[in-house]
Amino acid sequence: MSPITRSALGWGSLYCLLALLPIGWLLLSPPAPRSWLGETAVLLGALALSIMALQALVSGRHAWFAHPVGFDNVLQFHRQVGIGALFLVIAHPVTLFIAHPSLLHFVDPRDETLRALMLMALLGASVILIISSLWRKRFGLSYERWRLMHGGLALFIVFGGLGHALMAQRYTEGIVTSAGLALLILLPASLVLETRLLRPWRMRRHPWRVVNTTLERGDTTTLTLESTGAHRFAFQPGQFLWITLGDTPWSLQQHPFSLSSSAANSGRITFSAKRLGDFTRQLPNVTTNTLAFIEGPFGAFTPRPNNSSGLVMIAGGIGITPFMSMLYTFRDQQDRQPIWLIYANPTWQEATFRDTLDDLAKHLNLTLIHVISDLHDGWEGEVGYVDQSLLARSLPQDTGQRDYFICGPDPMMDSAEQGLIAQGVAPTNIFSDRFDIV
């Protein structure tokens, strides 16, 4: 079993244990049994509540929890398990009403208006929470507005769901049982206070400042930051950070970006972003000495140093940024392992850092393959998309113990992953960094 598989299994086991703890606690003092379907319905609701409370832990950027599998993977898990929790929320009343139709009066406003409205509000909030997360951009929600709404809805669902469980008094009749359930639910949910209040306070003690703003090819902006004191930011190449620009770290305007500078210089860091959204469109206007507050580093998208088998980097568009950090670090560390970089862009003009890559190739054992999808006169390189045939032409057939790193738009990454597996690359040697988190 590979170390990655062991880490994933260990992390998954820990999560399942935490998610099932409230159910285990309730089952210690079970009530008189009803139908098996009715009891299943109640436990489905308890599991949904537990998962929703744990979302604060999963999404809270806690390094001890996310490190074994990488924070980018944890956020993808956060999204998928949230969808699963919605199905549990819906399945809970549907199953309960099938088992016991007499309980339909719970959602009848004529019976008890406040209770019925609260239960319908909890269900509606759960649906809105998931839909707004999956299709935020389609709804035209800014990231900051979505983040505020997302947090508010999540807290409402957890506290409202807990109140419903306690007042329903099914499995929660005794004071000890009720208090224990409340503790198991509120403890992970309370981590929101650490994420939103205490962590910014710690960040405030170590501000950074912008020392340079550079306009790059491909509608990309690079910001260079320096520490204002003796504080250093140790990271591994390929990792990313969350950054807040402005005078205060207590801001909804906080965004993740891959580091694009060498890990050998922890007192000066850079990140590069393509102008795609409201925040990134404003980056060219950021002035020198603007304060910045950073949180991190995060991510397990990191290469092994001095790997004699080498590594393959497959980048699409602005997905080149984590690879720039790797290449700069290898240069500074005089790491001569063989490297193949496939860099795909719509046009040659949009190839950010193409001149820098040529310069880095002089100092590294680097094979650079540019790919464009829109052919133009005079282009003699690869044309098309990153698929199995291009990978077969560009990379050594002997995969060995080589690692393969992929970062870029989802369609390119899907095609590259499928192509590598078809070439015989073991899935455990493929590392993907999907940066479109929300």
Query: 77 and 39: one domain?
Result: yes
Query: 69 and 183: one domain?
Result: yes
CB 261 within 8 A of CB 325: yes
Query: 226 and 77: one domain?
Result: no
Whether pLDDT at 376 is above 80 = no
For residue 360, what is the domain's CATH number?
3.40.50.80
Average pLDDT of the chain? Answer: 90
Last residue of a domain, one of 274, 298, 322: 298
Query: 185 and 67: one domain?
Result: yes
Give Cα 217 to chain centroid, integer Å.
Answer: 27
Provide the token pair at 379.
Answer: 């282009």
CB 257 within 8 A of CB 207: no
Last residue of a domain, one of 298, 325, 348: 298
Lowest mean pLDDT among 43-52, 216-225, 398-407: 398-407
As for how many domains the chain has, the answer is: 3
Query: 22 and 69: one domain?
Result: yes
- Give every strand in the sheet of 240-245, ordered side by side: 255-258, 240-245, 291-298, 208-216, 220-227, 268-274
Query: 32 and 14: one domain?
Result: yes
Pick the more confident residue, 17 or 75: 17
Whether pLDDT at 49 is above 90 = yes
Share of the chain above pLDDT 70, in %: 98
pLDDT tens for each residue of 265-310: 888 999 999 998 888 999 999 999 999 999 989 888 999 887 878 8
For residue 247, what is the domain's CATH number?
2.40.30.10
Q: What is the mean pLDDT of residues 337-342?
A: 96
The structure's pTM equals: 0.84
| Cβ count within 10 A of residue 34 | 13
For residue 18, what is the domain's CATH number?
1.20.950
Residue 306 domain flag? no
Rama region for 209: left / alpha / beta (φ>0; ψ in -120 to 50; rest): beta
Last residue of a domain, one of 147, 181, 200: 200
Backbone angles phi, psi at 243, to 5 degrees: -130, 140
Place of tokens 């291009």: 390
Residue 265: the pLDDT is 86
Instruction: Provide the pLDDT confidence category of residue 1 given band limits of 50, 70 and 90.
Output: low
Separation CA 16–CA 106 (nearest Å): 31
